[in-house]
Structure 1
Amino acid sequence: MFIASFPAGPWQTNCYLVAPADAGPCLVLDPGVGAYDTVRALVEEHGLAPQGVLLTHGHIDHLYSAADVCATYDIGCWIHPADRARLTDPYLIPGARELVERALGQAHDFADREPAVVHEVADHDRFGLAGLEIEVLHAPGHTPGSVLYRVAPADRPLVFTGDVVFAGSVGRVDLPGGDGATMGRTLRSVVLGLADDTVLLPGHGGQTTVSRERASNPYLTNEGLTSF
C-alpha cells in the first residue's frame, strides 16, 4: 500500500493520499486549508489517479480544499450526513475565517462550493474505491458526523481517525457540535474496540497504534474516560 501525507494550513492538518500500489488509483483524505496544490503535485509526481475524497468530519481544516480536488479530478466526496451541512458552512470554528484569510490571503464563500457528487456514509458501511476496501465507523463527539475509516488491504489493520484520537491525546469537544459524553462513549466503544495492533493515522501529528494509546494516552485510562 502507498500512503503519502503532509500537514497543511494554519492548523497543520494531515492530508493523506492512499493507494493500493505506488501508482494508479488513489483516495484523498481530508484535503484542508492549503492542501490543494500539494495534492496536485503528489498526484503528478507519483502517477496517481484520484477516485474519491474521504472526509473524516466537517471542520474547515479538513474539508476546505475538497470541492477543488473533486472538481479537478471529476470525483465525489464521502461524508457523514450529520456533518454534510458544514461543506457549505464550515467557518464554525472560532476565528476560522480570519486564520484562513491570513494563511491564503482570501476566505472562500462556501455557499455554492459543495462538491457536485456527495456520498453520505453510515456506521459500518463497507464499499470498494480505488482498489481499496473501506469500512466506516461512526465516531461522534468531536463533531456529530465524525467517522473513522478502516482501509484494507494493508500489512496491519489501518484506521484514519480524523480528530477523534491522536498520539497521546483526543479531539476537542468544546467546539460547536462537540459533546463530551458522546466522545467518552466513542472512545470506549469505538477506539478501544479496535484491535491492539491497529495503526492509527490521525488528523494532526504522527501515527500511533491502539496498544500504545491504550497504555499511555491519559484520556483513554479509566480515570480519563470518566472525565468526559
Structure 2
Amino acid sequence: MVRSPATRTGTLRLHSHWLFDEIQLRQMLIAGFPAGAFQTNCYVVAPAAGAECVIVDPGQDAAAGVDELLREHRLKPVAVLLTHGHLDHVWSVAPVCGARGIPAWIHPEDRHLLSDPAKGWSDTSAEIFGGITLSEPDDVEELSDGAVLSLAGLELVVDHTPGHTRGSVSFRLPGDEIMFSGDLLFAGSIGRTDLPGGDYPTILRSLADKCLSLPDATVVLPGHGPKTTIGHERLANPYLRDIAPPAGPTRGI
C-alpha cells in the first residue's frame, strides 16, 4: 500500500549485534547485522517488538541472521526492501521472501540484477560471480521516486538515488530522522561508480538532492560500515564538500 505519511511520536531504540547505540528518536525498533563476506548491513525495521516488520537488503548468507532477529524480537516480516540490485545486497532475497510468502520491492532499473547479478559487476568480477545462480522472488513490486510505502505500520519515503547503480534508492522514515542510504552514502565516503550502471556526476547529483537537503540530525544507516549523520558527513566527507574530488572511488563495495 502506498499513501501519505503520518506523524508518530515516542522513543526509537536501535538494537543490534554491534551496529548501533541507543538514541532518542521516534518509536520503532531497528536491528541490523553485517552479512557475509561483503559485510553488507541487513536491517529489520518494526514499530515495536512483537509487531510486523520489513527487512532491508538481505545479502550473502543473511537468512540465518534474519531468522535470529525475528525470533529475538517476535517479528513478522511483510516485505523485503532493496536499496539496489548488487549481489551483496540481494543474495538472500529469494529464499527470505519464499520462506514467508512476502514480496520484494526494488526499483525497475535494477530489477534485472535479481536474476542476473553478473551484469552489475565489472568483466573480471562477472567471471568470478558468473557461476552464482539467483532468481526473482515470486512476488516483486517496483519502487518509484517519491512513493510512500505503508508497510508493517511504518511509512517509508522512497528516494531514487542513481549513481552507484541506475536503480539505487534510499528509504527515509518519518520526519527525515532516519535514512537507509544503501551504497549511496557511507561514513566518510560514497558508493563507487566504476561498475556497470554507475556514474560519478549522477551520484553527486543524488547526494546533493537527496542527502544534503536533509537535516543535520538525520541518522544515516548505510549499506556497509557504521552509522553516521548527515551533519557529520556534510562537514567531514570529502565527497560532500562544496568542491568535490574530480573522480569517484574505485575501490570498495
Q: TM-score, normalised by structure 2?
A: 0.82
Number of the residue aligned with 1:117: 139
Shift of 1:97: 6.8
Number of the residue aligned with 1:189: 209
How far apart are the structure 2 equivalents of 1:138 and 1:189? 10
1:69 maps to 2:89: no
1:157 maps to 2:186: no
> Kindly tell me: are residues 73 and 97 of structure 1, through their superposed partners in 2, closer, same or farther at Cα, counting changes over 3 Å?
farther
Amino acid at match of 2:160: H
User: What does residue range 38-187 of structure 1 map to in structure 2 within 5 Å?
Assistant: 38-91=65-118, 92-94=120-122, 95=125, 98=128, 108-110=132-134, 113-152=135-174, 157-187=177-207
Secondary structure, in 3 states, of the residue corresponding to 1:174? coil
Number of residues of Structure 1 aligned to a counterpart in Structure 2? 218
Number of the residue aligned with 1:211: 231
Give the CA RMSD over aligned residues. Answer: 1.8
Secondary structure, in 3 states, of the residue corresponding to 1:58? coil
Alignment deviations for residues 47-98 of structure 1 (CA, whole Å, 9 cap, x no partner)? 1100100000000000010011101111001110000000101123243674
Amino acid at match of 2:40: T
How far apart are the structure 2 equivalents of 1:81 and 1:161? 18
Number of the residue aligned with 1:3: 30
How far apart are the structure 2 equivalents of 1:35 and 1:97? 23
Give the unaligned 5+ runs of structure 2. Answer: 1-27, 249-253
Amino acid at match of 2:162: P
How far apart are the structure 2 equivalents of 1:126 and 1:180? 27
Secondary structure, in 3 states, of the residue corresponding to 1:182? helix
Number of the residue aligned with 1:103: none
Shift of 1:45: 2.0
Q: What is the identity percentage for the equivalent residue pairs of Structure 1 and Structure 2? A: 49
Number of the residue aligned with 2:24: none
Shift of 1:181: 1.2
Number of the residue aligned with 2:218: 198
How far apart are the structure 2 equivalents of 1:187 and 1:152? 19
Amino acid at match of 1:62: H
> Kindly tell me: are residues 35 and 139 of structure 1, through their superposed partners in 2, closer, same or farther at Cα, counting changes over 3 Å?
same
Amino acid at match of 1:72: A
Shift of 1:42: 1.4
